[in-house]
A and B are shown apart, each in its own frame.
Chain A
Amino acid sequence: MKKSASVKKTLARIKPYRIHLFGALLSAVVSISLTLLIPVLIGNALDEIVGKGSVDFADVARILGYIGFAIVGVSVCQWTMNCLVNTLSYYTVRDLRRDIFRKLNSVPLSAVDSHPHGDLISRVINDVDAVGDGLTQFFLQLFSGVITIVGTLIFMLAIDWKIALAVVVLTPLSLFAAGFIGKLTHRRFTEQQVLQGDISAFVEEHVGNQRLIQAFSYEERAEKGFDELNTKMYSVGFKAQLAGALANPTTRFVNALVYAAVGIFGALSAIGGALSIGQLSCFLTYANQYTKPFNEVTAVLTQLQTALAAAGRVFSLLEAEDELPEKDGGFRAENCRGEVSVKDVSFSYSPDKPLIEYFSLEVPVGCHVAIVGPTGCGKTTLINLLMRFYDVDSGSISVDGTDIRDMSRRELRKCYGMVLQDSWLFEGTIMDNLRYGNEQAGDDEVISAAKAAYAHSFIRRMPQGYHTVISEGGGNLSQGQKQLLCIARAMVSNPKILILDEATSSIDTLTEIRVQKAFAKMMKGRTAFVVAHRLSTIRESDMILVMRDGNIVEQGSHDELIAKGGFYAELNRKSV
């Protein structure tokens, strides 16, 4: 992303806080003018102290009183300015994080699936932090800098406008030098932030799967892999740091040259009699003051550069394309009957690998569809399409005769209850997790669903029962327990259409039978898609879809398909 674009977008983000910005500017003006005033006051006080026995104490006290007020003013204003700038950047950081987060929940699922999660987390955490740091530094330096420059400029112009002009023209040279270095090194900073993301992704992947690493004695190789990244990070980080750090000495060098030039020309014109010595020394003091902000800005250049690179990554994520916009055609889940029809659907994850082609299916209300086929035949894909996690490439899917693209995703998904292969639970109490699909559900509703899913007894045995907090990803539960909870969760939300994706596979058979009974009860009158392995489930269903390589190769009831003697019959024979 272009640097200037990143700057513009970052600045646009602080708009809601322009009052803070204005207040900070005001405080800066007051505090810096008072700061410039204090030396003058001290000078006045010193003028009153002439020598032995001739000190006017009343006057001295009066002036010192002014100084006291000025000090209080400076301190208060400085503090206010700092607080306002900090508040501004912390709230901007907060807003950025919220927006990224919302973005992650609104991009197509394929974007989440295909991007390393650690890198996305790094953008939310590290990159946004860097932007915040940059904002704080930028404004603090900018305010005090600009005002100091303006103040000293006025004094210098008053003394000798020709030399003043020379200073004004020459000093920005140092900024050019800094800018040139900045331009040369921007790439390094971008690289640094990218590597930071890679490191995050690596840690996320390897620490998250520590048990595998240990099981395969992979520690050393993991460390080697990390070393590679880490070493790259070192060399890039070192170069970025050094390059960023070069700007400040360079600026100061240029400014020292300017100072020397002013001294020499001033001295030469003093010899010529055009300038008094007092004026020259005063001039030099201001020239020194004038260059200070330039030095200070470049001192935080590393942070600004990091911020800029980070902002690029943040905005490229924020500008990622959203899911196809929704149309709210008035379809409401409450009125859903549960009729699903698929017409001539084609879909593939990548254009060069066609997966589902011209697939059609009519599912009347209350029909139970079993999806059968060898592993990897496209069953999960079908579910991705039904729930509109992915959009079809061509053809259409409709519920109750309405194309699902003409209804809001929310209403569509409310029709479905699903239990997926990967049982996902979030950090929170069991109660909260079970209520996930239906917040209005009362405690007794939740408990009866848990009982129906045979989760009640193990929940009760947990330390705090339904109020036990489960850790992220359900780490403290067994796979089977997690799945039972997911089933209970689906039951609480009481949907019209069920999707059960290999859901019962990790539950022991004794429990499973009971769960299937509960399911049978729940499935009554509801449409259901079951990705099934077990003959019992398959035989009980109204329709069997036999999938192979993304296509439906056979379709019909168990007896019909056995009689047909095709692929299903073969599968059936092999598994017994």
Chain B
Amino acid sequence: MLKLRRFLADYKKEVVIGPICKLFEAILELLVPLVMADIIDVGINTLHDSGYVLGRGALMVLLAAMGLTSALFCQYFASKASQGAGTKIRRALLKHINSLSYAELDRLGTPSLITRMTSDVNQVQQSIAMSIRLLTRAPFIIVGSLVMAMTINLQLSLIFFAASVLIALTLYVITRKSVPLFSSAQKKLDKIGLITRENLSGSRVIRAFSKQEIENRRVDAATDDLARTSVRVSKLSALLSPVTYAVTDAAIIAIVWFGAVKVNAGDMQTGDIVALVSYMTQILLAMVVVANLVILMTKASACAERINEVFETKPSVKENAIQNISVNEKCADMIRFENVSFHYNDGKDVLTDISFAVPRGATLGIIGGTGCGKSSLIRLIPRFYDVSGGSVLIDGADVRDYPFAQLRRKMGIVPQNSVLFAGTIRDNMKWRAPDATDEQIIAVLKTAQAYEFVSRLSDGLDSHVEQGGRNFSGGQRQRLCIARALIGSPELLILDDSFSALDMATDSALRRALKQCAADMTMIIVTQRCASVREADIIICMDDGRIAGCGTHEALMRDCGVYRAICLSQQSAEVSA
């Protein structure tokens, strides 16, 4: 919880003034009984004067009005500080998440990040507001009562201290035990989020297999699990106020008993006992507030821990440069891999000893079987992952020396999964170049063979795109993704198996158009289809993480067994019909 205090840094004023206002209100409230006493003692008993009574009554109204004003100020500051801090936390979270690499995001999981950014931040926010509202008043009353008790009778005030220690101990024990339970409850909430998300994204498959019942049972188990944990932790935290109550009232019994002894011995007046009991009652009321606050804080600190976990996750791929570096953009080889090897976290090499160079403006085809390392290879170019050995050079400079933005600006990437974002087609097309004009957008849509269907939509570029692009077919999405990568003329276009949902006719039309529209653009085509790479300047044939062959189609057909096998298999597939 304390680790998050930096988010309150801009709200120092609110955090200080808010509680002061509250304290002021508490003091005013304590004055009211005194005024009332005045009314009774002076107004009724001594003066019998209605005028005096009315005057004091007016004073009470004034006190109430002042109390209202300061309470309003307190609420204002509390709302401002808590909402402000929450907003800052959410913002910082998103920024941090954006800096994380894929490996870390996989570990944290999207549904869990959603809960952390909403539910967990809400809890923290609420606890800040409550602290500002309540945290000063209760200790003020507790300390005040303790001091008053000491002035009445030092010996009996020991009972007060004993009670305070006992209550503090209870608070500590219960808090210690419930924090882990609260975090486990939040984790179970994550699980429910995960199942929900899976069910939404897999709704077709679930329905196709008529598995609704099984999914329902899965969520039943998860919700039940959460309910049980929540009930367990609530049983524990519900102990707080009864225990507080029992301890203070036991203290009252002790006060009455020892007070009786002292009165009997003539050391004390009965009135003193009355006063001590009433102070103890004051403490009790304040303690109950503290107990509730502690429950809230316990919950919030479990949430704060989960938020901190995100902040403490460090990206495995770090940006080393902040300033753009100068590179030789005339460098003959746009891309150069030098003895690159690579493995994911689990340690098994996915790529071994990869070396090749792609001249500027050339087309590189990468072909190979499923799991041969094609996709891993191209992920090293925009530096989604860092190489384990060797180096990747773009325009003669190591990708690790580039700032991310400068490096990635150079390339347009079309991923395997065609995903669009909620918004309009125009919004999606502006991803690479925020100031792209409609003419530019239409031009790339034409190149990507997407203009034909876009122009037939009644809203054209303003057509709505649903999250993920669900309202477009696989092939339409794929072409829109290609267009998105083409905007702003990237120097390098990376197509990661991006023709898979296209029919052969569209595929070949697209490749022709790409060649025409940008002759000087370097292009990498990752594919399973021989036909897609046949005309590439260089073809790399991958096999089990290594380069099995590198050269033109003709050269590979002659020299590379793996490539020949792939091509022949496809030809035979087409002929065997």
Inside 8 A of A376's CB, which chain B residues have their CB? Answer: 453, 472-473, 475-476
Contact residues of A between 198 and 225, Cβ < 8 Å to B? 199-201, 203-219, 221-223
Q: Is B501 an interface residue (CB 8 A)?
A: yes
Q: Is chain A's interface secondary structure helix, strand, loop, or mixed overall? A: helix
Inside 8 A of A409's CB, which chain B residues have their CB? Answer: 207, 210
Q: Is A259 an interface residue (CB 8 A)?
A: yes
What are the 7 closest A-B residue pairs judged by CB atoms, nearest first? Answer: A375-B475, A575-B504, A539-B577, A480-B370, A82-B238, A256-B64, A249-B71
Inside 8 A of B231's CB, which chain A residues have their CB? Answer: 83, 86-87, 90-91
Q: Is B277 an interface residue (CB 8 A)?
A: yes
Inside 8 A of A245's CB, which chain B residues have their CB? Answer: 75, 78-79, 129, 133
Q: A229 to chain B: closest CB distance in Å?
A: 9
Contact residues of A between 102 and 120, Cβ < 8 Å to B? 102, 104-106, 109, 112-114, 116-118, 120
* Cα A374 to Cα B150 with chains together (Å): 90
Q: Which of B106, B199, B224, B263 makes the CB contact (< 8 A) with A51?
A: B263
Give the B interface residue count (CB, 8 A).
177
A117 close to B467 (CB less than 8 A) = yes
A interface residue count range (under 10 / 10 to 19 / 20 to 34 / 35 or more): 35 or more
A55 close to B203 (CB less than 8 A) = no
Q: Is A75 an interface residue (CB 8 A)?
A: yes
Known A213-B98, A263-B60; contact A98-B220, beta-carbon cutoff 8 A: yes
Inside 8 A of B577's CB, which chain A residues have their CB? Answer: 535-536, 538-540, 558
A121 close to B249 (CB less than 8 A) = no
Q: Is A398 an interface residue (CB 8 A)?
A: no
Chain A residue, CB-CB nearest to B195 = A101
* Cα A48 to Cα B260 with chains together (Å): 9
Given pairs A109-B203, A267-B57, A268-B53, 15 additional interface contacts (CB within 8 A): A42-B256, A57-B264, A75-B242, A83-B238, A113-B471, A118-B114, A203-B94, A214-B404, A216-B432, A226-B94, A374-B475, A420-B205, A480-B370, A480-B528, A535-B574
Q: B183 to chain A: closest CB distance in Å?
A: 15
B238 close to A79 (CB less than 8 A) = yes
Q: Is A252 an interface residue (CB 8 A)?
A: yes
* Cα A271 to Cα B413 with chains together (Å): 90
Q: How many A-B residue pairs have CB under 8 A?
A: 502
Chain A residue, CB-CB nearest to B497 = A506
Q: A21 to chain B: closest CB distance in Å?
A: 15
Inside 8 A of B565's CB, which chain A residues have their CB? Answer: 510
Chain B residue, CB-CB nearest to A484 = B370
Q: B355 to chain A: closest CB distance in Å?
A: 23
* Cα A114 to Cα B203 with chains together (Å): 13
Q: Looking at B65, B219, B242, which has the most chain A CB atoms within 10 Å of its CB?
A: B242
* Cα A215 to Cα B576 with chains together (Å): 41
Q: Is B234 an interface residue (CB 8 A)?
A: yes
Q: Is B461 an interface residue (CB 8 A)?
A: no
B40 close to A281 (CB less than 8 A) = yes
Q: Is B506 an interface residue (CB 8 A)?
A: yes
* Cα A116 to Cα B464 with chains together (Å): 13
Contact residues of A between 31 and 78, Cβ < 8 Å to B? 38, 42, 45-46, 48-55, 57, 60-61, 64, 67-68, 71-72, 74-76, 78
Inside 8 A of A157's CB, which chain B residues have their CB? Answer: none
Contact residues of B between 67 and 116, Cβ < 8 Å to A? 67-68, 71-72, 75-76, 78-80, 82-84, 86-87, 90-91, 94-95, 97-100, 102, 105-106, 109-111, 113-115
Stretch touching chain A among B44-52, B320-328, B332-340? B44-52
* Cα A352 to Cα B463 with chains together (Å): 14
Chain A residue, CB-CB nearest to B403 = A217
Q: Which of B95, B114, B273 makes the CB contact (< 8 A) with A200?
A: B114
Q: Is B368 an interface residue (CB 8 A)?
A: yes
Q: Is A11 an interface residue (CB 8 A)?
A: no
Q: A108 to chain B: closest CB distance in Å?
A: 10
